[in-house]
Amino acid sequence: MEGKSSSSHRRDLLRKIKEFTRSILDDLSIGKSPVVLIDRFRNYCTDSTGNCCCTSDLSKGKEVLTLQRECHVRRLDVLLRVLLIVQQLLQENRHGSKRDIYYMHPSVFSDQSIVDRAINDICILLRCSRHNLNVVLVMGWLRFSEAGKKFDCINRLNNVRKEEAYPVPVHVEEVKDIISVAQYILVVEKESVFQRLANDEFCNKNRCIVITGRGYPDIPTRRFLRLLVEKLHLSVYCLVDCDPYGFDILTTYRFGSMQMAYDAKFLRVPEIQWLGAFPSDSEKYCLPEPCLLPLTAEIRGKPKPFYVDAISNKNCCTGG
């Protein structure tokens, strides 16, 4: 997809959406239960050294969704609802966040993770990245252009609110003329932290670039971060919560995901360093028990290799 223009890419995705929905309608019209096959990939690269060389996009099997199973009916319903929203975004050439999509039907989706899963399924079905589905933010000592349009974050240092911060470029391959006098790049997990830093004029007092992926980073965020590190040769730090979700987000930036394996070499940033509270700090500073949250069954069931490596691998930490 690297060589495609944005307009031809949109047309291609709209064609695939039309073909997919038509196949379902054709089956229903003849009384046949539709069958949706979704390729399954490993969720994560397991190379803890950061020197991942994964290039294969071969699936590790297929998941079969049918209307004959109640749980599949629910999942297909959500998938088609999200697909309709994606279709509208493509037709209108607009971009929305995964959170925006969730709030369009919160009573139906019930949880953000339901939308996230549907988006991943759609990406696999259409064989595309998520870059049309999210908007993230950047501020600081940075100038760049995208598709001929100039973005000057430096001129906004004295008056940056979240609503005025620039979005991370969607078409990263069209980013040119990158100029910066920053000393480092800071990636923050949460949009609320980004807003607090903006309110405190953090970039006005510190020569840096601040980026937020608003939780789990999408494709443009990781590609843009990788591009900045390659072009500017700056140190990059990631401020995340000291919990499995924070570790998961950190390692997504550092090691990459295998969901779209063929994009891995364009996405991972092995240089990124962990910034924030460490698990050892609770004992080191004798934090009282009320300050700590217990691990729920859901959190305990999350994949462990990445955040275990993040804790034990000194190269992933800045201290602690």
> Which positions are annotated as active-site residues?
103
Report the DSSP pairing between strands 175-179 and 143-146.
antiparallel
81: number of Cβ within 10 Å: 17
In angstroms, rounded to a whole number, what is the distance separating the alpha carbons of residues 150 and 126? Answer: 31
- Cα dist. 61→37, 42, 53, 65, 73 in Å? 10, 10, 21, 13, 21
Six-digit token string for 138: 């950047």
H or E stretch including 162?
A: none
Q: At what angle do helices 112-126 and 70-92 cross, to 10 degrees?
A: 70
Amino acid code (one letter) for 180: S
Residues contacting 251, CB < 8 A, separation 6+: 44, 306, 307, 309, 310, 316
- Pinpoint the alpha helices (H) of 30-171: 70-92, 98-104, 106-109, 112-126
DSSP state of 265: H
- Cα dist. 244→81, 85, 251, 284, 300 in Å? 30, 30, 10, 20, 8
- Pinpoint the alpha helices (H) of 93-126: 98-104, 106-109, 112-126
How crowded is the C-beta side of 36, counted as CA atoms within 13 Å? 27
Amino acid code (one letter) for 162: K
The phi and psi torsions of 53 (rounded to 5 degrees) equal: -125, 30
